[in-house]
């Protein structure tokens, strides 16, 4: 049986388009210092380090070696995880496994990226099959555009409904000091922004950011003695997929499969009622509508109605992405770990201006690769 595990602290940089003032280890150290301070720990208290980014974005293959001084990994057990957009959630899952195994008491999970240092779309293309798919794939934008088109066409979701989600996310980001794009937008501005890949407008898409996030996982005994209320891991579920985009079965997606298993593990039978907040990996605004359907927050094709009714806003019954989400902030290797960190802050009551009142159960997701998924459920009790 796995042992109970909790998150006892987290830290983030203030994410932005370009951090010329720091190199990679310096950027990482900012997030690590903030996480240690948040948990009232020093690096000596950390038993192991798990770190992740995607090598192709910076062109540094042993990125964990290059980062080891900033990550605090010198003379500690450490490993690197790289799973595309899901990297940060995979890092979190690995840190969770480390603690749940009973082998480690305090594990530092780090995700980072400095996307300003090369062309992000080019980097993403190199993650895909070199013989068949690189020829035509236009990175995440192209891959998401075909899913958005399929989703919107299948259910009659309008451009306006999708744009509303983009406006909501950037409005939420204004309450988050770590967010990159804190934009005050209108639906018209989104609809009149350039169509970068039909049906995705420029303002529907996530930015490319420089940033890092660090989260400290602890074993049950340590977490119970923590100075701050911990956020307990109720479920951490991963689903990978077939390799080719053309193989993906859109009716049987990995996010839905992971969510069903996570709900089973956490004993959740009515996710809309039992979840208090969601931190969704939303790489483009349509995902805020489509992927809450995969999470069974509403029925298939009802995402448009959810945004029209205001159900997923800060004032709604199931707020999604109080942080502003991925379409406001996207240092890719950190992005999914930020979802987990933000969900933990909501449980801990430490989300400041973006705090949803009375959060007892929170869900975080990661998205990456050939549409694969991670789902975390966090709670106030083990």
Partner 1 sequence: MRREEGKEYLYITLHTELPYQYSAGRYMSRFLTTLRDEAKILASRCTQCGTVLVPPRVVCGNCFAEMKDFVEVGPRGTLKTFSVINFPFIDPFTGVQRPVPYGYAIVQLDGCDNWLPHFLDEIDVQKLRIGLRVEAVFKPREEREGAMTDILHFRVIGDRSRESSPEGEVS
Task: Walk across the sheet containing 48-52 and list its strands.
Answer: 78-81, 48-52, 106-114, 210-219, 5-12, 231-239, 372-379, 361-368, 277-279
Q: Which CB, 229 or 301, lies closer to partner 1? A: 301
Identify residues 141-170 at the interface with partner 1 (CB under 8 A). Answer: 141-142, 145-147, 149-150, 153
246: contact with partner 1 by CB under 8 A: yes
Using DSSP bridges, classify how beta strands 5-12 and 106-114 pair: parallel, antiparallel or unpaired: unpaired
Binding mask 198-217 for partner 1 (x = CB under 8 A): xxx-x---------------
User: Near partner 1 by CB under 8 A, which window of 124-132, 217-225, 270-278, 371-379?
Assistant: 124-132
Q: Which CB, 42 or 122, lies closer to partner 1? A: 122
Identify residues 48-67 at the interface with partner 1 (CB under 8 A). Answer: 59
197: contact with partner 1 by CB under 8 A: yes
How near is the Cβ of 128 to partner 1 at its closest, in Å? 10
How near is the Cβ of 79 to partner 1 at its closest, in Å? 26
Q: Which CB, 37 or 135, lies closer to partner 1? A: 135
- CB-based contact 114:24 (threshold 8 Å): yes
Q: Which CB, 113 or 147, lies closer to partner 1? A: 147
- Judged by CB under 8 A, which of 224, 244, 308, 310 binds partner 1? 244
1: contact with partner 1 by CB under 8 A: no
84: contact with partner 1 by CB under 8 A: no
Q: Which are the contacts of 234, defined by CB distance < 8 A and separation ≥ 6? A: 262, 265, 266, 361, 377, 378, 379
130: contact with partner 1 by CB under 8 A: yes
Q: Which CB, 313 or 370, lies closer to partner 1? A: 370
Binding mask 12-51 for partner 1 (x = CB under 8 A): --------xx------------------------------
- Judged by CB under 8 A, which of 133, 160, 274, 302 binds partner 1? 133
Rounded CA-CA distance 357/381 in Å is: 17
247: contact with partner 1 by CB under 8 A: yes
How near is the Cβ of 119 to partner 1 at its closest, in Å? 5
Rounded CA-CA distance 129/133 in Å is: 5
Q: Which CB, 117 or 317, lies closer to partner 1? A: 117
How near is the Cβ of 317 to partner 1 at its closest, in Å? 32
Rounded CA-CA distance 55/200 in Å is: 27
User: Near partner 1 by CB under 8 A, which window of 3-11, 69-77, 192-200, 267-275?
Assistant: 192-200
How near is the Cβ of 129 to partner 1 at its closest, in Å? 8
How near is the Cβ of 194 to partner 1 at its closest, in Å? 7
Which positions lie near partner 1, rule CB under 8 A?
Answer: 20-21, 59, 119, 121-122, 125-126, 130-139, 141-142, 145-147, 149-150, 153, 194-200, 202, 242-247
């Amino acid at each position: 049986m796995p042992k109970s595990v909790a998150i006892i602290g987290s830290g983030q940089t203030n994410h932005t388009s370009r951090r010329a003032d720091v190199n990679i280890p310096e950027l990482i150290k900012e997030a690590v210092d903030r996480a240690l301070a948040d948990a009232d720990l020093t690096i000596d208290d950390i038993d192991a380090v798990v770190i992740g980014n995607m090598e192709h974005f910076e062109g540094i293959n042993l990125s964990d070696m290059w980062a080891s001084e900033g990550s605090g990994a010198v003379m500690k057990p450490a490993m690197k995880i790289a799973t595309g957009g899901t990297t940060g959630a995979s890092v979190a899952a690995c840190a969770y496994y480390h603690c749940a195994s009973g082998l480690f008491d305090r594990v530092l999970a780090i995700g980072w990226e400095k996307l300003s240092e090369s062309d992000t779309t080019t980097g993403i293309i190199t993650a895909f099959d070199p013989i068949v798919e690189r020829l035509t794939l236009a990175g995440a934008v192209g891959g998401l555009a075909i899913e958005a088109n399929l989703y919107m066409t299948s259910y009659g979701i309008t451009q306006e409904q999708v744009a509303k989600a983009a406006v909501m996310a950037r409005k939420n980001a204004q309450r988050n000091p770590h967010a990159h794009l804190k934009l005050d937008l209108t639906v018209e501005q989104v609809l009149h922004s350039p169509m970068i890949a039909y049906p995705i407008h420029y303002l529907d898409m996530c930015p490319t950011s420089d940033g890092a996030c660090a989260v400290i996982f602890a074993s049950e005994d340590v977490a119970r003695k923590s100075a701050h209320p911990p956020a307990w891991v109720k479920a951490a579920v991963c689903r990978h997929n077939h390799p080719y985009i053309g193989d993906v079965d859109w009716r049987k997606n990995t996010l839905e499969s992971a969510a069903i298993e996570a709900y089973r593990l956490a004993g959740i039978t009515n996710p809309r009622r039992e979840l208090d907040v969601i931190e969704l990996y939303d790489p483009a605004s349509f995902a805020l509508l489509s992927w809450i359907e995969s999470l069974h927050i509403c029925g298939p094709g009802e995402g448009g109605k959810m945004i029209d009714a205001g159900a997923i806003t800060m004032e709604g019954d199931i707020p999604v992405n109080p942080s502003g989400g991925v379409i406001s902030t996207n240092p890719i290797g950190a992005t999914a770990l930020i979802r987990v960190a933000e969900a933990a802050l909501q449980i801990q009551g430490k989300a400041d201006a973006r705090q949803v009142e009375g959060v007892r159960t929170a869900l975080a997701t990661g998205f990456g690769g050939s549409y694969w998924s991670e789902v975390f459920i966090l709670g106030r009790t083990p």
